[in-house]
Structure 1
Amino acid sequence: MVLASAGLLTHPHSADIAVVLGNTVDRNGSPSPRLAARLTRAWECYQRHQCGIIFVSGGIDSSGTNEGEAMRAWLVRRGVPGDRVFVDDAGNDTWSTARHASEFMRNRGLSSAVVVTQYFHLPRAMLALKRFGVDEVSGAYPRFWEFRDFYSVVREAPAFLWYVVRPIK
């Protein structure tokens, strides 16, 4: 119930845009299982008309693999029209993704977003978007769990506190 009251829903509110945070992509362009789960969740939002645009954000790793382009290709292969998927290939972290997504939204007159990431990451990702001026933010997460989530949950507490006080530059 805490997740639902915080806007972290398995069935998110309808929004103008879904913002999908990146994760590992293999050298062959295949998303890791964690990232594939996020993309499936975003695809479900699109299919259910809970968002009209999908904004995928990730970086370019040392081998030259572009997370955002790999995410876009995955979604297009599953039937999302290419003109409905926008790539941020400079989303190297949550803060950068929030900055870029909010700017994208402002430039297009969009006001609401659903963030798609892991359950433990949603509060910080949603906070970051709000810090950058997006007032209507909800979240969606895939039903996916890995052993490393133990570490990730612990790491999120100080990271969230940093995002509360971090200066907007």
Structure 2
Amino acid sequence: MKLLFRVALAALLAGAAWHCVWTARRGLHDTARPADALLILGNTVNPDGQPSDRLRARLDKGLALYRAGLAPKIVVSGGLGREGHYEGLAMGRYLVAQGVPRPAVIIDDLGKTTRASAQNFAVIARQRHFRSVIAVSQFYHLPRTAYLLHRAGNFRVYTAHADYFELRDAYSLLREFPAYYWARLSNEQ
């Protein structure tokens, strides 16, 4: 019984290590190309209503892609955070303050999870006839985001990672191992 447990544990650890390497390689390889829209996924908004450093890095990456002419619309998606602010609204305000015309920003304040953001984007895409999207988030988050976007709608998905790294990324990379497979195994659409 001990041997079986050790073999199973070794297999699980090897699988997790392989998945972390795969996620990092895929997430750090930007595939951004001209698309109908950018989708910037939410994250923490500080108690003062300003985007956290991590969220600002996502917004700045999306802003750079927008300014480079890769997409005419920016969808920002995030729910109500613990700090009492809607992420999407704070993200939209930040982009407009950086010079993005308000009509170019589409706010989704119901994207409380990655799955919800993907599903909400699919609805927006159908309404606005978007056929392609560039997803912007932290590198470790992009493979699961791309999978959920593919599953939610019939459009091409490109990715671009935020230029922000911190020690927490190691934990987040490990967390993506079960999160990615849970997303694939979940029958909920």
Same fold (TM over 0.5): yes
Q: SS where residue 170 of structure 2 aligns? A: helix
What's the secondary structure of 1:120's corresponding residue?
A: helix
Residue 99 of structure 1 aligns with which residue?
119
Quote the sequence identity (%): 38
Deviation of the 1:10 alpha carbon: 3.7
Aligned equivalent of 2:65? 45
Unpaired runs of 5+ residues, structure 1, are none
Residue 76 of structure 1 aligns with which residue?
96
* Deviation sequence 1:80-99 (CA, Å, 0-9, x none): 10001011111001000000
Question: Of residues 13, 20, 31 in structure 1, which corresponds to 2:33?
Answer: 13
What is the TM-score with the length of structure 2 in the denominator?
Answer: 0.83
Given that 2:37 and 2:134 are in contact with CA atoms closer than 8 Å, whether structure 1 keeps it comes out as yes
The counterpart of 2:131, out of the listed 100, 111, 132, is 111
TM-score for both structures, normalised by structure 1:
0.92
Distance of 1:139 and 1:8 partners within structure 2 = 9
For 2:91, the aligned partner's letter is M
Q: Which amino acid aligns with 1:158?
A: P
The answer to whether the 8 Å contact 1:24/1:35 transfers is yes
Partner deviation per Cα, 1:108-128 (whole Å, 9 max, x = no partner): 111100100000100000000
Q: Which amino acid aligns with 1:130?
A: H
> Aligned-pair distance for 1:61?
2.4
Residue pair 2:115, 2:148 contacting (<8 A) in 1 also: yes
Partner of 1:31: 51
Q: State the 4+ residue runs in structure 1 displaced beyond 6 angstroms.
A: none
Q: CA, structure 1 residues 155+123, in 2 after alignment: closer, same or farther (shift >3 Å)?
A: same
Q: Which amino acid aligns with 1:141?
A: H
Q: Which has the larger radius of gyration?
A: 2
Letter in 1 for 2:49: G
Q: Which one of 74, 77, 83 corresponds to residue 57 of structure 1? A: 77
Alignment length (residue pairs): 167
